Amino acid sequence: MSQLNLEIDSSFTALLLSFSMSQQKGRIISPRLLALAVVALALAAILVIDNLKNVLDPVTRDLNRFAKYEIVYSCVGKHVSSVYDVCTIHGDGSGKSEILAGETAGSVLDSPSINELGQMIFSCSEMEMVKKHARVKGAICSRSNIQDKSLITLETGSVHYSNTDINRSGWVVFQCDSEQICLTSITASGASANPALQLSHGFEPAINDRGWIAFQCNDPSTVKGISTYNICALQVESKSIQHLTHAPDDALYSDPDINELGLILFACQEPGEAPNICSIRLDDPEQRHLTSVQSPSHNAKPRVNADGQIVFECWLDEQTSNICGINRDGSQLHQLTSDGSNDFAPSINEDGVVAYVCGQNLCVINFDGSGLQQLTTLKQDGVVSDPEIQ
């Protein structure tokens, strides 16, 4: 199209010069020259209309905008012995690649996370058979950016690590066993900057760029057989733990996420009630219910960006999940998806673009529900999970 543009521009310029010279010399424009001028003008009009379509067509506009975003997610590995790999893809569906690409047998790569600089962190376990029994050799691995092909192992252990998260400064939090949260950090090249440190008893850690970690903390009740799950926070420098919520006995507060302003979102399920979305701030102890649904409906897995745009799984019944959005003050609750394909695991970036699992595929959509694009297909790309977009 660009070559055609150039040819038409050249022809049109030549015609204008011919017209100008003919008028200066008082010549009559020949029918042939006039016909060529009409053809050139018609082609120029077609190109103008085509360019306007590219500018005004929302699908084309969104695809061009999505192309600058990077998404990491768990994918099915190509190697016959692989269970999961970690894949990367651009927001417009281009540039898909696998980290292992089927080169290592028995590898389980999952729980990926990416920061604004493109640094990646993920769990990279190995399954090995010892006396006919499968044994897990757990590890946390990193890459300095999407294009980097080197794989750096940061931490190893005898369990499968999970729930990784990385902030802009390279601080990394992860679940280092079934009940412990660990902290490490990486350099600009992706290498380990500090040995892993056990921080606290807890689950599902999330870290913001100011070094605050929000996580689920278990408070054993004084009543036998009753456990209550709350939301706690910890600063990486001071290592001081704050108990932010005070749930009633047998309540389940889970899936925390924290943005740069210290706003923490989590799923809050009171005894005998359906899970809803709640929020609390580091500097304000007041807990807010942002949604209010009744069983069998429920809401789960909220994610929030710096602007306070919140996305989460919204189950309208026991079979079908969609992606919903809401503002940080609880206003403008809206449903982003409604295709009946079971949409879940949303992630939202600072521009309000949401990546999520649609059925068993990967999709992106704007926070207002526009611009839906399916980036992978089950037949060609296999099952996807745990997407994160930057």
Map 145-194 to HEC letters: CCCCCCCEEEEEECCCCEEEEECCCCEEEEECCCCEEEEEEECCCCCEEE
Q: 94: pLDDT confidence band, cut at 50, 70 and 90?
A: very high
Q: Which two tokens stand for residue 261?
A: 């302003």
Residue type, 188: A
Q: Considering the chain, what is the average pLDDT of its residues?
A: 84
- Break the chain down into helix, strand, coil percent, rounded to 5: 15, 45, 40
pLDDT tens for each residue of 10-53: 554 554 555 555 555 555 556 766 677 677 677 776 766 666 55
Of the ranges 68-72, 107-111, 355-359, 380-384, which one carries the lowest mean pLDDT score?
Answer: 107-111
Distances (CA, A) of 369 to 44, 158, 271, 323, 372: 36, 43, 33, 9, 7
- Cβ atoms of 306 and 260 within 8 Å: the answer is yes
- Partnered with residue 51 across adjacent β-strands are none
Task: Enter the pTM of the model.
Answer: 0.82
Question: For residue 1, is pLDDT > 50?
Answer: no
Specify the pLDDT at position 154.
86
Element spanning 24, H or E: helix 2-24
Q: Residue 155 and residue 137: Cα distance in Å, rounded?
A: 11
With tokens 């044994």, the residue in question is 135
Which residues, other chains included, contact 118 with Cβ-Cβ below 8 Å and sequence gap of 6+? 70, 144, 145, 146, 390
CA distance 232 to 254: 10
Residue 107 half-sphere exposure toward CB, CA atoms < 13 A? 25
Instruction: Answer yes or no: is pLDDT of 78 > 80.
Output: no
Torsion of Cα atoms, 227 then 228 then 232 then 238, to 10°? -40
**Residue 42 and residue 102: Cα distance in Å, rounded?**
53
Return the residue matching tokens 């651009």: 90
